[in-house]
């Protein structure tokens, strides 16, 4: 039984399997904005061969009572098939992809490339004065990379938001 | 496509409605729905009731649905037709009323072009409906209609919008028979028997039990109300109802404590506050019921039965959650209670009843009526007499209300022994609900007595529906408690804002007797207490629609009252009682 007096905030990665129909994303987002829940990250794409189902991955935060309420609210949406709390259901892997544009010359440019190598980022575009790095990993790793690039000519960042799956053989 | 394509979308639509058992549609025509109206004109299976405003169409469908248990159906045009319906849709969503609302839309090729009378109806109604659809292909039409009815009536009922572009209803489309299965929406209705067993343990151990039942019991059908009544009588537990639940358990039964909540009885609220076991059924612990959450029934273990899992543990954490249909869960509890040989604590229950009877002795709904000739009518007395006179006449009586003081007095002083007889706007609190809702009730029950207990301010919000009453000769009785104030707002201003009656005086009121006359109805008026019974009798005898304008005490306030931000044991009682309870805190002032 969640306690209303427990104000500890936790982060939750929730995966939602939905019908791939128009308006379904608006329903999910509208639920979050209408009820004042946080969205820290959101990804959505069709995941089955026929393109009939989409998977929405949401990273949210709140007290455990709020997280339970979010799951219950998602579950009662008509086009929702499954709701899984990956954070609670066991270990899971979560990854996101980032494209990071760095503009710089000389020693700065060399240092950026060296750090990118350490992070196993790939150079996907380059000019004489710029790089676009592609990097995948968990959110902390990407945050750390972007932080390091700040002093080395960080110009622009595009992030995918997280995709997540439970570890092991279980599926949602 | 195997199916024959000989029928237009409009004909397919009506065929699907017919297959869903629809008999009545409440609607208002317009450009985008002309083809549907043309198809309606050419058939006789479905009756159309022409309202005077789209909001009223939705409330009428709500009245129809709540008094019959069927799905109410609405048909409105695009743009303003759809936006006018939004208040009604949200009202139905908050009070869990099953509706299907058909909205016209501009043709598919014009969607997004800011066409004449275009609105993003699915966008606007998304948070105001349980679900909505925009039909983009003729071959989806019949399936979507069947799905909409399934969604509206299954699980926690609610309103569903189907947005119909004009070309979809003009072009030929195939028909599809109703299906019973929905691919993703399959609400759980059967209770988990392990949870039922846990609930029985708590119920058997209870020393100070209370049953707290809401509109979910009524939505689960008359069998659920019957099961609730059996369970309450079998256990001997005291029972209280929410505003939406009134009538599920007979109000005339001595085990009934009256309504609970902000304007609930002293005994109901103190029983909730002091209980050690609470059985909540089809109720959602909303703020009007709980008062200050951190002081709400701290000493009780709680069982919560609800068909909507998101209603459980939302505001109040409970020990035994049971996601199920109220009727099925109640019958499971009944069977399990009877099968269990676990003893109950009879002396403790008897002591609890003695305590409750002591609270009852306070007579928290007490008022004093000056019965001398010329005496000013107390609003509570007017409702009490309406109740006593309709009861004595023995005719099946349905009550709707508008929103405000009169609504709370009606809930307190009109007593319901059967479900589906009480229609009021609870969650949204929509002024203007009562008259159109009464219209819908009267359509469903042509021979019944249907009374809208109204205030003079609320009634003006959908007064145009007097025209609908006249057109269809619906003998609805509008019983206005006229205190010339928006009474509930005035009450809050008196209690919380230093009696500064900002914009709550009803200036320039119409002459309601003449107004009735101009709408082909009968107007009558009671100015003092000696005229009251005669007016009520004349109203009930009258074969036409009636507006009865009852002049009531302007200064009367609705008590008991739990002020915003206060707890159940901090109730304000009326002037009949020595002062009790607390004032309103700063935090409470910010609440509504």
Each residue of B414-426: pLDDT tens digit? Answer: 999 999 999 999 9
Contacts of residue A54, Cβ cutoff 8 Å, sequence gap at least 6: A17, A18, A19, A20, A24, A44, A45, A46, A47
pLDDT at B564: 85
Both tokens assigned to A71: 């799951």
Q: Which of B23, B117, B198, B226 is catalytic?
A: B117
Cα-based distances in Å from B574 to B263, B344, B370, B557, B571: 11, 37, 17, 8, 10
pLDDT at B1 over 70: no
ipTM passes above 0.90? yes
With a pLDDT cut of 90, the percent of chain B lying above it is 93
Low-confidence ranges of chain A (pLDDT < 50): none
Sorting pLDDT into bands at 50, 70 and 90, what band is B582? low
A78/B contact by beta carbon, under 8 A: yes
- The token pair that represents B269 in the structure block: 């609220």
Task: Specify whether the CB–CB gap between B546 and B477 falls below 8 A.
Answer: yes
Residue from A19, A36, A54, A76 to probe the interface with B (highest B Cβ count within 10 Å)? A76
Place B588 in a pLDDT band, splitting at 50, 70 and 90: confident
Query: A69 vs B122: CB contact, 8 Å cut-off?
Result: no
What's the pLDDT tens digit per position in B380-400? Answer: 999 999 999 999 999 999 999
B272, B423, B488, B539: which one is catalytic?
Answer: B488
pLDDT of B5:
83
Q: Is A79 on the interface with B (CB under 8 A)?
A: yes
Residue B31: burial class (beta carbons within 10 Å; 0-12, 13-18, 19+): middle
Active site residue B139: no
Over chain B, what is the mean pLDDT? Answer: 96
| pLDDT tens track for B56-101 | 999 999 999 999 999 999 999 999 999 999 999 999 999 999 999 9
B307 to chain A: closest CA residue? A76
B116 is catalytic: yes
Question: Stretch B10-18: mean pLDDT, rounded?
Answer: 98
> Does any CB of chain A come closer than 8 Å to the CB of residue B310?
yes
Spell out which residues of chain A touch residue B182, defining contact as CB-CB under 8 Å.
78
Among all residues of chain B, which has the CA nearest to that of A67? B314
Question: What's the pLDDT at B592?
Answer: 75
Q: Which of A3, A75, A81 sits opposite B317 (nearest CB)?
A: A3
Bridge partners of B455? B481
Give the pairing of strands A53-62 and A41-46: antiparallel
Pairing status of strand B477-482 against strand B546-551: parallel
A69: nearest CB among B183, B187, B314: B314
pLDDT of residue B183: 86
Taking only the tens place, the pLDDT of each residue in B278-303 is 999 999 999 999 999 999 999 999 99
Active-site annotation holds for B62 = no
Question: Is position B54 annotated as part of the catalytic site?
Answer: yes
User: What was the pLDDT predicted at B579?
Assistant: 56
pLDDT band per the 50, 70, 90 thresholds, residue B182: confident
Q: Are A102 and A152 in contact (CB under 8 A)?
A: yes
Pairing state of beta strands B209-213 and B239-241?
A: parallel
The CA distance from A20 to A24, in Å, is 7
Please answer yes or no on whether A78 and B151 come within 8 Å at the CB atom: yes
* Closest CA of chain B from A22, distance in Å: 9
CB-CB under 8 Å, B318 with A27: no
pLDDT at position B179 is: 84
pLDDT tens-digit readout, B338-368: 999 999 999 999 999 999 999 999 999 999 9
Please say if B267 is a catalytic residue: no
């Amino acid at each position: 039984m969640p306690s209303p007096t427990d104000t500890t905030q936790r982060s939750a990665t929730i995966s939602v399997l939905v019908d791939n129909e128009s308006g379904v994303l608006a329903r999910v987002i509208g639920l979050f904005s209408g009820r004042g829940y946080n969205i820290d990250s959101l990804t959505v794409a069709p995941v089955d061969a026929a393109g009939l189902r989409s998977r929405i991955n949401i990273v949210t935060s709140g007290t455990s009572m709020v997280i339970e309420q979010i799951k219950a609210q998602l579950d009662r949406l008509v086009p929702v098939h499954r709701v899984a709390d990956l954070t609670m259901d066991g270990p899971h892997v979560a990854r996101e992809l980032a494209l990071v544009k760095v503009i710089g010359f000389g020693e700065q440019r060399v240092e950026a490339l060296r750090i990118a190598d350490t992070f196993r980022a790939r150079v996907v575009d380059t000019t004489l004065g710029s790089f676009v790095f592609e990097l995948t990993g968990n959110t902390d790793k990407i945050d750390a990379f972007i932080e390091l690039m700040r002093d080395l000519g960080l110009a622009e960042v595009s992030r995918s938001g997280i995709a997540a799956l439970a570890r092991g053989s279980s599926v949602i | 496509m195997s199916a024959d394509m000989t029928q237009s979308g409009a004909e397919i639509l009506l065929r699907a409605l017919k297959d869903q058992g629809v008999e009545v549609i409440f609607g208002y025509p317009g450009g985008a729905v002309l083809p549907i109206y043309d198809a309606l004109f050419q058939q006789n299976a479905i009756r159309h009731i022409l309202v005077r405003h789209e909001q009223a169409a939705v409330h009428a469908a709500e009245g129809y649905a709540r008094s019959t248990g069927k799905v109410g159906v609405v048909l409105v045009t695009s743009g303003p037709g759809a936006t006018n319906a939004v208040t009604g849709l949200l009202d139905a969503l908050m009070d869990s009323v099953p509706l299907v609302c058909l909205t016209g839309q501009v043709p598919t090729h014009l969607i997004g072009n800011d066409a004449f009378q275009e609105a993003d109806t699915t966008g606007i109604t998304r948070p105001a409906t349980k679900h909505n659809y925009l039909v983009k292909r003729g071959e989806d039409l019949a399936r979507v209609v069947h799905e909409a009815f399934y969604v509206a009536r299954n699980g926690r009922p609610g309103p569903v919008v189907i947005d119909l572009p004009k070309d979809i209803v003009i072009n030929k489309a195939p028909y599809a028979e109703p299906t019973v299965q929905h691919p993703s929406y399959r609400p759980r209705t059967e209770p988990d028997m392990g949870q039922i067993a846990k609930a029985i343990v708590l119920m058997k151990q209870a020393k100070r039990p209370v049953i707290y039942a809401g509109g979910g019991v009524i939505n689960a059908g008359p069998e659920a109300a019957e099961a609730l009544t059996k369970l309450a009588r079998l256990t001997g537990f005291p029972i209280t109802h929410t505003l939406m639940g009134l009538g599920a358990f007979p109000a005339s039964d001595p085990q009934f404590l009256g309504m609970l909540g902000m304007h609930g009885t002293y005994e109901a609220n103190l029983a909730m506050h002091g209980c050690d076991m609470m059985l909540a059924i089809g109720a959602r612990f909303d703020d009007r019921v709980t008062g200050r959450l951190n002081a709400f029934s701290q000493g009780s273990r709680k069982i919560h039965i609800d068909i909507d899992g998101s209603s459980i543990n939302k505001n109040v954490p409970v020990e035994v959650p049971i996601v199920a249909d109220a009727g099925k869960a109640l019958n499971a509890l009944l069977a399990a209670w009877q099968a269990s040989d676990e003893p109950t604590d009879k002396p403790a229950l008897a002591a609890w009843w003695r305590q409750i009877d002591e609270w009852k002795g306070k007579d928290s709904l007490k008022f004093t009526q000056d019965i001398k000739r010329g005496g000013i009518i107390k609003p509570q007395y007017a409702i009490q007499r309406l109740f006593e006179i309709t009861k004595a006449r023995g005719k099946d009586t349905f009550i709707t209300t508008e929103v405000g003081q009169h609504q709370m007095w009606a809930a307190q002083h009109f007593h319901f022994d059967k479900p589906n007889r009480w229609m009021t706007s609870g969650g949204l609190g929509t002024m203007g609900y009562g008259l159109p809702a009464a219209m819908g009730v009267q359509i469903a029950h042509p021979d019944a007595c249907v009374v809208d207990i109204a205030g003079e301010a609320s009634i003006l919000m959908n007064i145009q529906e007097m025209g609908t009453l006249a057109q269809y000769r619906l003998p609805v009785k509008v019983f206005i408690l006229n205190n010339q104030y928006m009474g509930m707002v005035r009450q809050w201003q008196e209690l919380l804002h230093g009696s500064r009656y900002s914009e709550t005086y009803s200036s320039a009121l119409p002459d309601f007797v003449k107004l009735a006359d101009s709408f082909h109805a009968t107007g009558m008026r009671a100015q003092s207490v000696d005229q009251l019974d005669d007016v009520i009798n004349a109203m009930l005898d009258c074969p036409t629609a009636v507006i009865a304008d009852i002049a009531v005490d302007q200064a009367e306030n609705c008590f008991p009252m739990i002020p915003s931000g206060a707890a159940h044991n901090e109730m304000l009682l009326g002037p009949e009682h020595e002062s009790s309870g607390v004032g309103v805190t700063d935090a409470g002032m910010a609440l509504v």
